[in-house]
Amino acid sequence: MTLPGFPFADLSLKSFAAYFREGRIRSRDVTQTILDRIDVLQPRLAAYSYIDHQGALARAAAVDALHLAGVDLGPLMGLPIALKDLYSVRGMPTNAGSRVDISDLVPPQGPFVTALQRAGCVVLGKTTTTEFAMGGINLTHRLPWNPCDSDVARMTGGSSHGSAVAMAAGMAAITFGTDTGGSVRWPAALCGVVGYKASNTHWPVEGVFPLSKNMDSLGVFTNSAADAAFVEAAIRGNDGRPAPRVDQLVLGVPMEHYFDHIDRDVRECFDDAVARLRSRGAQLVPIGVSEAHEHDALFARLVPAEWLAFFGRERFIANKNEMDPLVQTRASTGMDVAADEYLRHEKRRVELIALMSERMRGLDAWVAPTVVVVPGPVTDFDTIERAAAWNKLNTQNTRPGNVFAQCGVSLPIQHLRSTLPVGLQLCCAPGEDTHLLEVARAVEDVVGRAPAPDVGLLSGATNLERTVSICGPEVRDTEKESAAKQTGRPPRKA
């Protein structure tokens, strides 16, 4: 069995855009290679819930024809992408990871997906999500396989785990997810990729099956912080700005909450990253965030109540026996949330947003571990109680960002001190998305990039085809080669 090489293993999105415009790369060729790769990896990884082979190839061919006709749709033109199974896409099913018939609840395609299509992105299909995006694990649904380990099935985080796995395994150029309590940053950390959660007003959530009307936000998975910044700038219709100098950064390190229950590997990776930043002149200052612990009470009451308000109490009661036990348990807690309790919690959430935005003044970002543990074996979390405890621990550091309405990004840093994935989380105040990604690029330049997993072992492939078969032997990403020389690390493997 042959596993095709990942065209973006040694090619940044910025370089792809340049080569595409020069006619050195065709979207259909790249799309076909990634679809072939999906065909080999999907049986083991289960990253996708729906794959539109013929439609994707037709869209890629149409994009190539437009380019030949002199039409330029922008920097994302020709890129094969995947969307979490919460995004409505015309002509594709949306099941929100559930066996329950929700066809009458699925919203029409929204402005975000339409913007991606108009930008020339080629939608490959839908990625796997936990049922209704309610938590990081289901007990009765198949979980995607974490590419970080070919022998042991390890936790992937949730609920955008299909998008994280697809990105880690090179099954799309860009993947998209949603983040209500960490559902982009958390699986990014456990799967070893970059995961950027936008401010909840930065990208429109219309056309996406909701979990929490006040805390839902969209997000993107990429190979690098530079790629994430490229995507955000392209969607915004901007060329982006250069990363700031590291010696001009002032980063806040929370003194409470964010280091509770931390694994040794995670702590060592974080300390190493901080030491590297300090050595390059960045200022790291302690900050008090005692309010972070309030996320537990707010999430426990606000999210289930808001989901039930959308889904419907009667529908939930009629269909709950078809749902995963964890979804049944969590959604049921919303049944007894009184109106005055809901309003009291929502009032406090609004107060915390203002309070934390003020506390971030003078800081470029907060920095902390994304998740305080490395991905454990799936078999360790086989009961409702164990899975719920794991869900709570793993969202300890991500949920506060949603409560505070922050934008955030997780950068993989396992290459510093760990054999399993570890994430470094950066958070900025609401609306500071562009600055967040500029800071992330500067931090990535210092801490370096983690190598991609060897997914050939997962597929049983006997060999890997070289990426040059797609682009031609003359195509080399000098941007990545330069970065590799600066960090002393080779470009990522396919």
DSSP 368-429: EESSSSPPPBGGG--SHHHHHHHHHHHTTTTHHHHHTT-EEEEEE-GGGT-SS--EEEEEE-
pLDDT of residue 457: 82
| 225-236 and 13-21 helices, crossing angle to 10° | 60
pLDDT of residue 243: 86
Q: Which residues are catalytic?
A: 84, 159, 183
pLDDT of residue 453: 93
pLDDT of residue 140: 95
pLDDT of residue 475: 43
- The span from the CA of 134 to the CA of 327, in Å, is 6
294 Cα distance to chain centroid: 24
> Which pTM does this prediction carry?
0.94
pLDDT of residue 238: 84
Which segments within 230-275 are labelled E, that is strand? 250-254
Across the chain, mean pLDDT equals 93
Tokens representing 1 are 């069995």
pLDDT of residue 463: 53
Contacts of 120 (CB under 8 A, 6+ apart): 27, 63, 66, 73, 74, 76, 77, 78, 79
Relative to beta strand 423-428, strand 365-369 is: antiparallel
DSSP 308-359: HHHH-HHHHHHHGGGS-HHHHHHHHGGGG--HHHHHHHHHHHHHHHHHHHHH
- The span from the CA of 155 to the CA of 191, in Å, is 9
- The span from the CA of 79 to the CA of 123, in Å, is 8
Residue 28 vs residues 20, 58, 391: alpha-carbon distances, Å: 11, 8, 40
Tokens representing 233 are 């700038």
In one-letter notation, the amino acid at residue 53 is H
Residues in the chain: 494
pLDDT below 70 — which residues of the chain? 1, 460-494
- The span from the CA of 382 to the CA of 143, in Å, is 12
* pLDDT tens profile 16-62: 999 999 999 999 999 999 999 999 999 999 999 999 999 999 999 99
- Please tell me the class of the 2-487 domain: alpha beta
pLDDT of residue 468: 34
- SS3 category, 95: coil
The residue extents of the domains of the chain are 2-487
pLDDT of residue 460: 66
pLDDT of residue 1: 67
